[in-house]
Amino acid sequence: MSEIIPPRPIPPPWVSNVVEDRFGLSVILRVGNAQQLFRWIRPGHFLMGTQADESERGSAELQHEVTLSNGYWLADTACTQAFWLAVWPVNPSHFQDHPQNPVENVSWHDAQGFIAELNRRFPGLYARLPSEAEWEYACRATTTTPFSFGNQVTVEQVNFHGHYPCIGGDKGIYRQRTVPVASLPANPWGLYEMHGNVWEWCADWYGEYPAAPQFDPSGPIIGKMRVLRGGTWSDPARYARSANRSRIEPAYRPRSSGFRVALGQIRSPVGIHNRIC
C-alpha cells in the first residue's frame, strides 16, 4: 500500500504552546493550572487485529486492513486526575495520592460528560474519544508485534500484574495500583502507557471485525457495549497487547477504567462532524 503523505497540520487556535521534538509535532492545552499535551497522529494504513498465530490472541481480533484518511491529535497520556478536576468537580478515582495519576473508575458516559464540558469551554476544540481503529493505530505506532515494545514486555515498560507475563516472559513485581502518567517509557510515537495502567474507553460500540479492508471505520451503528483498550494494572500482560479488545456497558464503571482524549473532526459518509456521543 502506498504511504499517505499529509500536509503539515496547522496548530489549532486554542493551543497555549507548540512543541516539536523527536516524536514530531505536539500542542498543549491548558485548563486552569492543569495541562494536556496532544501529539499529531498523521493519516496512514495499518493492519488492525492479529494474525492467527499470534501468541495469546483473542477470538475477536480478525486481522484486516484499515486506512485512516485524516490526521488527529491524541493526548500523550490518559487523562490525569489534575486535568479532570480542572474541568469536572468530583474525582471518582480510588488512587488519589498523586495528581498525575490517571483518573479511573469512570464510565463511558462520564468520559463523554467531561469531553462535552471541554468542548463548551473551547469552541472549535472538537474533543472526543478516539475510535477503536485510531486507538490501535496510535498504540502500534507502525509496529506489528504484540506490543509496541516488541513480542514481550516487562514491568519496567508496562504496569500490569507482573506475576502473569505473556508466555515465555519473565515475572515481575505486581504494583497493585496505577502509576503516574508518563512514568513508564513512551511508544515510538511518544504516547505513554498505551499498554497497561488503566483501561481506556473508545468511542465505538463493540462488534465483530469485518474481513474486508476498512476506510475510516467507526464501529457498529448501534450496540450494547462500548470498547475498552489497553489493559490495566491488575491484568495479565496479554490484556495489554496492542490488539486486545474488551467491552462493557457504557454506564458501568469498571475497576481502573480511564480514557484518553482525541481532538479533531472525523469523516463520515455524510460529511465532517464531531462524534461525541
Do the Cβ atoms of 1 and 45 come closer than 8 Å?
Answer: yes
Longest dimension (CA), the chain: 50
Torsion of CA 141, 55, 226, 110, to 10 degrees: -60
**Has residue 255 got a pLDDT over 90?**
no
Q: Residue 67 in 3-state DSSP?
A: strand
**Has residue 260 got a pLDDT over 80?**
yes
Q: What is the pTM of this model?
A: 0.93
**Has residue 3 got a pLDDT over 60?**
no
- CA 108/CA 266 separation, integer angstroms: 19
Q: Give percent of the chain with pLDDT exceeding 70.
A: 92
- CA 47/CA 166 separation, integer angstroms: 22
Question: Where residue 139 falls among pLDDT bands split at 50, 70, 90?
Answer: very high
Task: End-to-end CA distance of the chain: give it in Å, rounded.
Answer: 33
Reference 194, options 249, 262, 254; nearest CA is 262
| Separation in Å, CA 246 to CA 36, 70, 140, 220, 232 | 26, 25, 17, 15, 11
- CA 146/CA 53 separation, integer angstroms: 11
Reference 145, options 41, 11, 51, 10; nearest CA is 51
Output the nine-digit C-alpha cell for 63.
486481522
Q: Where do the domains of the chain lie, and which CATH numbers do they carry?
A: 17-264 (3.90.1580.10)
Q: What is the pLDDT of residue 13?
A: 73
Do the Cβ atoms of 250 and 156 come closer than 8 Å?
Answer: no
- CA 111/CA 134 separation, integer angstroms: 17
Neighbours of 64 (CB within 10 A): 16
For residue 139, the number of C-alpha atoms closer than 13 Å in the C-beta half-sphere is 32
| pLDDT (mean) for 58-83 | 96
pLDDT per residue over 10-53, tens digit each? Answer: 767 777 788 899 999 999 999 999 999 999 999 999 999 999 88
Instruction: Specify the range with the lowest mean pLDDT, choosing from 56-60, 215-219, 236-240, 241-245.
Output: 56-60
